Structure 1
């Protein structure tokens, strides 16, 4: 941690994972979703730090003193209609008390930098239709809405 009083956004390190798991649980509860998977820290470690070419990127918003205020995760995907890859912002979450301080925009900037580093020219994401605060935030960023419903279907053994 630097000696400044300014929060920073940086790539997650292995020691951040317990805090990221706590944030992910808060995020899931906020979005009225099931709790994250058991052993999530180990699962994230495998994707972030143990693969030759990690699919997942995790960025954290760190407060002075080292506490985490939020996180963003993203993965590279392929858009069939566009015929090109893009970066999928899977999670973006800031604790309520740290919203409105510019950290969300800094996390998004870090995600955009990740996309540029990968040679990608677009980031896509979803947010619940009821999450008016997030929608206002994304609109202020200049993001374009794409009206769709997100579905999930569990794959059962044959």
Structure 2
């Protein structure tokens, strides 16, 4: 009997595994390490009654959480409407190629529908060819933009003063 992917919303007890996956994701993207107190910072944002951040988890055939998609509502000024912004989608290396990514994306689309949003937007690094092929197969369209970050404090914040 074939195991259908299980996609569900994160629960408080999932936080340690979610943080493990986040650290794997950070390493995969060769990004700077994240704060040691990540679980303490995420928990209150995820598991409150008025949370505006949603995390969907993918379980593999053994029932182990093997991936996640983190989303929040965001306003698109040019369209004058909200959309669902998928900030992260990650699958552990051993879980890739099992249909979990497509199932997660179906879950993200369903979450957007539940929230009354008409569109999902996200980004991926331009070097991540596997993700780009995956998103193209889903029928998603890409936009040629760069994403910038600017610290509010520090040398870059005062360089033009």
**Taking structure 2 as the reference length, what is the TM-score of the superposition?**
0.90
Q: Aligned ranges for residues 38-77 of structure 1 at < 5 Å? A: 38-50=36-48, 52-77=49-74
In the comparison of the two structures, how many residue pairs are matched? Answer: 154
How many angstroms does 1:36 deviate by?
Answer: 2.2
Report Cα offsets for 1:24-57 as digits up to 9, x if no partner.
000011111112222111222101112x321100
How many angstroms does 1:100 deviate by?
Answer: 1.1
Among 24, 47, 63, the alignment partner of 1:26 is 24
Give the aligned partner of residue 79 of structure 2. Answer: 82
Q: Aligned ranges for residues 11-22 of structure 1 at < 5 Å? A: 11-22=9-20
Greater C-alpha Rg? 2
Give the aligned partner of residue 9 of structure 1. Answer: 7
Higher deviation after alignment, 71-80 or 60-69: 60-69
Segments of 5+ residues of structure 1 without an aligned counterpart are: none
Counterpart CA distance in 1 for 2:38 and 2:31 is: 15
Q: Which runs of 4+ in 1 moved over 3 A?
A: 4-7
TM-align CA RMSD: 1.6
Counterpart CA distance in 1 for 2:67 and 2:109 is: 17
CA contact (8 A) 2:5 2:99 kept: no
Segments of 5+ residues of structure 2 without an aligned counterpart are: none
